[in-house]
Structure 1
Amino acid sequence: MAQTADFTIEPGSTGGDAGSDAGGGNLRFSGPLLVSTVGHIDSRLRHIEEPVGTIDLAGVERIDTVGAWVAWSLSQRLDAKLTGASTDAQRLIEAVSRAGTQGGAIERERLPWYLRVPAQVGDSVIGMGRGMLGVLGFFGQMVLGTATLLRHPGQFRMRALVHQMELVGVNALAIVGLMSFLVGIVIAQQGAVQLQQFGAEIYTVNLVGRLTLRELGILMTAIMVAGRSGSAFAAQLGTMKLTEEVDAMRTIGVSPMEALVLPRIAATMLMMPLLGVYSSVIGIIGGAFLASLTLGIPFLTFLSRIQEVVPLHDVWVGLLKGPVFGLIVAVSGCYQGMQVRNDAEEVGARTTGAVVMAIFTVIVLDAFFAVFFTEIGWG
């Protein structure tokens, strides 16, 4: 029994050379047509230039899907007829031909360019609607899980909460502090440049203090946590979905909502106000550092002026935004992670979606907060 695949091309039955035969020659395969045996004849098959009328598979001892695809695709390229195939070979060739035909049909049915954009917009709108319903259902599961934990407090996983607080809060201190320090320097520098035109550079203290405590401290922290922890939530839960760990938890009677989702949400809501205050303080220190170098305002004088020019309600504005932003970031990450279904590629797509969803929602809510607090006299 031959262990390698091979082929020969015989002239047509009418005699003469193959090029003069109207029906073309006969390409005869021999040996096993398997994925392990067709590699060395692939390049020769690609360079066949003689007209071929039939492809004879009678000499094929064994065949697999790759061999069937080689024979069928060759018959399509050379416009030749397959003959001599065994029952198994015919079944495989029919299967690969259906796959090839369906792929061609999909390509032929592609919409023209002027309809593709409206179709994609419609698909996006429908996807957004389904996403909103999914998030609403996710909130419902959260409420039910929270109610269960309130009835049975002993089921709450305190160790998981503390662990997530460490990951979300303590481990983020360095990057949040560095970012806030640099943002404070930028605000002080750009503000001072503009205020110096009016001889009002002393109001740089007001600008840095109010803007940092009221807006940028908590907003930049939320964006940083969304990119750092929100993406981690989505990737972790998505991987657990793929490896069926979530299904295994349900099988043994453990609620994934109570064990995985709620500790992450609670930790983020608790740590976000603290990180926001920390970010604001470091931002003010950055502004004071620049003011002492370029504006001649002593470092301690800058800090003491902050207490005089920043109203207390600006601090409360930042504190009240913290838990809401933390809820948005954590829900976005956990929701997207729990929606993973198919493969590892979807984990990456859902992780990206979690970050985009969190940042977009946080910025929109921040705008609403700005209007709301102005209306109640905290502007």
Structure 2
Amino acid sequence: MISKWYRYLIVIDDIWDEKLWTTIKRAFSKANGYGSRLITTTRIVSVSKLCCSSTNDSVYQMKPLSDDDSKRLFHKRIFSQESGRPHEFEDVCKGILKKCGGVPLAIITIASILASDERANPLNEWHVLLESIGRGLNEDPSVEEMMRILSFSYYDLPSHLKTCLLYLSLFPEDSRIMKDQLIWMWIAESFVQCEKAETSLFEVGETYFNELVNKSLIQPVYNIYGCVYACRVHDSVLDLICSLASEENFVTIVSGTSGTMSSEGIVRRWSLQNAHTTPLESMSMLQVRSIATFEPAISLLSRLSSFVVLRVLDLTECDVSDHNHLNLWELWSLLQLRYLGLYKSGISEVPEEVGKLQFLQVLDLRLLN
């Protein structure tokens, strides 16, 4: 044990486990009459609170870098001085920094790519990089290192939270994902397990959501009353979970800029994002459990009756009324459906046939058009 008669300043960086901290703290005296200081860092909120052993201790929650500080860090890594940045790079720099979201690791990693070449990168190369961020950019060694660091957070999760986090790959980058909607989708997929009779599945799902926030893997979105009602996923984290979801054939993403179709051709969860065409003939839809659609990719969705084991169908903000290729009456034949999202879908009324969906848990009818 470190004696109380010595004055010390000790920094313990990146503590991951609450049990580990209970062991470490035994080495330090509770008496602190000589002005000693112990500083700990962690990505996990619950660990930071545990490290506060007295009322005099405090938690400083790091915020994303400001626009000015982000720009300063980015430019310092690439240009010899602020004035050395060509004026024509202004807009693309702003776009890249917006993608980084004030996260120093992301800023340094992306800046390292641009600074890795001895010659100045042409403007078009910067624009190519800008379009690549958030779409699984992983060919550069520095990006691979960032993904490796971020993956520690993923592999430290219990199995049920890994599954819930991977499910977020259904949503496009920059999406604001409603908390209640996400939890009910988890429940519909049977990701949420309740062991106590007095606790509801939704309450358990809410603890899952809070744990992902607590571990800084999703970013909470607050309403005017200070309550969390939604979340966002940082582009770098989204890159990671999209890559993992593709490797495990957990989610198949179809978009105009990228695709992650399984080599097996078997689709388990289908995310239709910003695309007009896809090789449907090579994809098996018999095992699809979740479908999330986003405009304009709703045109890819057809033959609803073919999704025989579908549990989640989210048509939120997709106007299906203008798509004659869809036979909406087939909705009522999806007997395994647990979640049906029709918010702002262009459906003006729901027929009595909805009663055929005997396992339906959630029918989102907010503001039917």
Decide which structure has greater helix share. 1
TM-score bin (small chain): under 0.3
TM-score normalized with structure 1 length: 0.22
Higher RCO, 1 vs 2 (CA within 8 Å, ≥6 residues apart):
1
> Which is greater in Rg?
1
TM-score by length of 2: 0.22
